[in-house]
Amino acid sequence: MSYSQEVNEPALKINKAVQKKRFTKKKLIPYLFILPSFLFIMGFLFYPIAMVFYYSVQHYDISAPYYNRFAGLENFVQIFTQDKLFFPSLLNSLKWVVSEVGLQLVFGMILALLLNQTFKFRGMIRAVAFVPWAISGVLASVMWSLMFNEHMGVLNDLLMKIGLINEPMAFLANTSTAFGAVVIAELWRGIPFFAITLLAGLQSIPNELYEAARVDGANRWKTFIYVTLPQLKNTIILTTLLRVVWEFNNVDLLFNLTGGGPAHSTTTLTMYIAELAVHGSNFGYGSALTVISFGILLVFAILYLRLSRYEKE
């Protein structure tokens, strides 16, 4: 080793150490930027979820703290063997989700196809069509409760004028009409969501596909079946999955319109959880129901994505 190399060796080591330190800082900087978001998500999402799982195996009732203790699987056993409202509320949730998501998808598709056409004042009409989606659930429930009102509601007045009913009806207080009434109210609020997403999907379809279909002699119906729907497949799968989760967990409109009544005819599983946890203060039992609800949605999402082959697209 020459004299110059012996002199430069400490400088080379220092230079390598400085470069390594700079490289380490560059690697850490991105993680420092996402650290606040990570802490926020951990604090407001994962921690509450973990606490729900924790309380699901506890007898935790703030109105009777002297009975609080570890319960193990007692809450779950009671739900499946003794709870008389669990299966009816689960059935109501199934009816609610199927009717809402199915009808919102159909009417949302129709609205999206209409708004995708070229006509005068299209921009203004699009904005008006999307207004219900911007209205909060509480405000929407107040509006619809006034329209369904037996004494001053516009719906009763309209139906009496056209001769469909002879006297005013209490739509939200009748077990035969309450469920249909809340379905209509939520349908009005949910259609714009599908319309917005499907309209965005329609605008991304190349015109060449429609031109080729016209050249092949396809009519509008065949063009819709063989061109439009396949191109919207991924959008429909994703939006339907999101809407299923949202409607399954829907509380605000049901709570404000009927409170789960009359005679539990509109009590969904989420409404039942809200009644137990919020009004009954039984957080342990309510948490166990929440865990079951979470499991149902998780299994559904996995099976739905697998059967639709969404992950392979």
Is there a domain that residue 26 lies in? yes
Q: What is the pLDDT of residue 296?
A: 93
Predicted TM-score (pTM) of the model is: 0.83
Q: Are residues 160 and 297 in the same domain?
A: yes
Is there a domain that residue 69 lies in? no
Is there a domain that residue 219 lies in? yes
Q: What is the pLDDT of residue 129?
A: 85
- Looking at per-residue confidence, does 105 or 306 come out higher? 105
Average pLDDT over residues 41-69: 82
Residue ranges making up the domain that contains 288: 83-312
Q: Are residues 23 and 124 in the same domain?
A: no
Q: Are residues 168 and 267 in the same domain?
A: yes
Q: Domain with 254 in it: what CATH number?
A: 1.10.3720.10
CB 84 within 8 A of CB 66: no
Residue 9 confidence class, pLDDT cut points 50, 70, 90: low
Q: Are residues 140 and 230 in the same domain?
A: yes
Tokens at 181, concatenated:
């009434």
Per-residue pLDDT at 289 exceeds 70: yes
| Per-residue pLDDT tens digits for 250-261 | 888 888 888 888
Q: Are residues 144 and 215 in the same domain?
A: yes
Find the range with the poorest average confidence among 9-13, 274-278, 303-307: 9-13
Q: Are residues 249 and 163 in the same domain?
A: yes
Q: What is the pLDDT of residue 18?
A: 57
Is there a domain that residue 67 lies in? no
Is there a domain that residue 76 lies in? no
| Per-residue pLDDT tens digits for 72-130 | 888 899 989 998 999 999 999 999 999 999 999 999 999 999 888 887 888 888 888 88
Q: Are residues 124 and 16 in the same domain?
A: no
| Per-residue pLDDT tens digits for 222-278 | 888 888 888 888 889 989 999 999 999 888 888 888 888 888 888 999 999 888 877
Q: Are residues 175 and 35 in the same domain?
A: no
Q: What is the pLDDT of residue 216?
A: 82
Q: Looking at the 3D structure of the chain, how many domains does it have? A: 2
